[in-house]
Structure 1
Amino acid sequence: MLAIKLWNFLYGYAIIRIEGLSIERFLNLVISKNIYVWDVKRTDHSTIVAKISLKGFKLLLPYAKVTKCRVYIVEKRGLPFIILYLRRRKMLVIGALSCIILAYIFSMFIWSVEIVNPKNVDESSIISELDKLGLKPGISKSAIDIPKIQQEFLIDEKDISWIGIDIKGTKAIVKVVEKTTPPAILHDNVPCNIIAKKDGIIYKMAVLEGDAVKKVGDTVKTGDVLVSGIVERPNTDTRFVHSMGTVLARTWYEGYADVSLIQQKYERTGKKITVTKISMGNSNLTLSPSKIDFKNYDKKVKLITSNYSPIKITSETYYETVPVEKRLTKDEAKRLAIDKALENIKPAFGKDAKIVSRQEKITMVNTNVLRADVIVEVIEDIGTQENINYNTEVKIERSNN
């Protein structure tokens, strides 16, 4: 069947309308003479529409006279008629060919340069330097020497430790990695204390250098000295050292979240509208109706052409949705509220912190809103280094002596 349809497309076929009171007899005669007719559809009691090859159309005309049926050609289709149509519209063919040729020519050049992950690096300076080295919009791909550009770029830009250039379509994607700046920490030869950056109860201490001022079980406040860098021993001079160590403490965080028992969701009705758009530069062409009559909808965008092609064809499908209410059970709302409360708390402590226990309290704010109050106990490192203040701490030490 597919082979026959392909054959008829290549040689052309016609969509015909047959009218008369003896259509069944007409079709029986045609079929008995091995004249192939397909996609036969009755539109009313005296009319049918069908498809037939051009050769077959000439053969069935005598049988139409015998059965007193009238046969009309509704439309001619197939490759021969497409060629005939294009011959009559030479400018359309020339325009289409010109677009294809221009698209091919444009694809041989770089039209945009994208910097990926510049972060703290000045993106404009990177683009300016690449422009000097020859990587810029409008440059031919064949004129770009990527290894040479990368090497010269690293020589000129002292703040960049690595650069990668990847050509995709008409776009040059440039990835840069800045040189790592040493963190703002105190050098080993700088005397310092370890102080508490949070309130808590000391759970565990490991002091490598300095004198512990607090001990396990002590309650500390933010700013309290945990390990002193001022070391004093009997019959020896006072030493100032760079305190080092880990101070783990039990800390507590509290958060809450409200959840409505009535949740509104949107479900698709099955209706959809598809809009096809063609864009080249700042020019846009919409091939399908662009008016969306849906009050609520989900939108799905699919790029048909390559992401780096100068001519972009996108298909936008709009699915109609309607609001549907769903009532959660109290257990479902409780689990959701607790999860949300925990998510609200987590940013307050570090990723290395460990939650050891939690307390939950569930209350109904009103008939439809449930609230979860959560208190978590966390073990985390609360120590941070701080320079010794010689104007206060040292004077106090001397006065005590």
Structure 2
Amino acid sequence: MKFHLYRITINSKHIYRFLNNTKEIKIRDITFNQNGNDSLASFTINSSDFNTVTGIAKDNNIKIINVHEFGLYKKITHSFFIKLAATFAIFFILFIVISTQFIWKITINGNYSYTQKEILDYVRCLNVTEGVLKNKVNCENIEKNIRENYNDISWVCAEIKGTNLIIHIKENYITEIAKKESRPYNIVSKYSGKIQSIVVRKGTPLVKKNQYVHKNQILIKGVTDVADESGQKLYSVITGSDGDILGKIKFNYNDQIPVKHKYKIYNSSKTYYIPFIKNYRWHIKSKKNKDIEYSESKIKFFENYYFPIGFGKYVSKDYTIKTANYSKKQAEKVLSSKLNNKLAILEQKGYKILAKNVRIVRKKEFYQYKGDVICILPVGKVQYIKDSTLNKIKQEKESVEQTTADR
């Protein structure tokens, strides 16, 4: 089938004059037929010659009796379903182009002690939510606020890929305090224990390795004394303090669970898939003896191009509640698992677990898991220097300078 053609009909008495004026145009399939008293001539031309042919006919006063358009082009442009598909494709492309200007997904990577919900809730407090324009998102501001709000998050990187805002974090207690504080301060001990190592970047160290320290004892002083040639103190200067101090600390651990406990036996479940748009979702309400588990999946194009539409998966589970007593072995397994999870988080943050001496004891209606855990961890914390001390140091220095000037 030809792509785009026209079948033109004129009076047959003009056909030879018409052909003489259109020698450079490809005219084919010439036929003659009778329509009542009129003798007609019909011929076919390409669509690219249509304007030229109609112009020649007008210049020579040749009346075009009929024009019939045919070919694949007409089938495409005149088909309802093809028009509908083309319209849908245009709107779909517009939808994609407009949607890619917004953030439709926020992803948190690298968290283990903080939940996804906890960090996402904080990010949303910064007016960064699904549906915000990408050019309104300040990644540097997000990084700064997260670092300031979470002391044990030492590194943050926010980036936009497609319509996905990805926030990478690194949790670690071993951080440089000086990066987070601007006021003059000393570094004091958070715990009582033995100093395992001390690295001083700024300030005056007041403790040594293997020295036992008490809670709130000054480890690195943010004030340094200036002495004369004989070693006698002249005055003090505020140098600030910064460093990493690790201590060997023994923690008391105590946890318990009741002997009698309730547990669920699930009988049947039903699954529902419900579409959602942006933040508008229809929720299935939980009923008595029924749990609702919800998860959702957003439609995406390639890896990071999410759209504001998707499907929510609801799993409704019926259950009955039973009551039973823990045996000592079962209780120890539950309590030990809780302790191991807590220790795993500490290890991921840079703590080194040296020993755990914990045992289980039954006390009437409870199982108690009690003992101590020994670990190596950062022990330094900030203690601001009092304003009265700062003023005293300032006055002391001014007095010495005045005495020197008088001499």
**TM-score with structure 1 setting the length:** 0.45
* TM, length-normalised to structure 2: 0.45
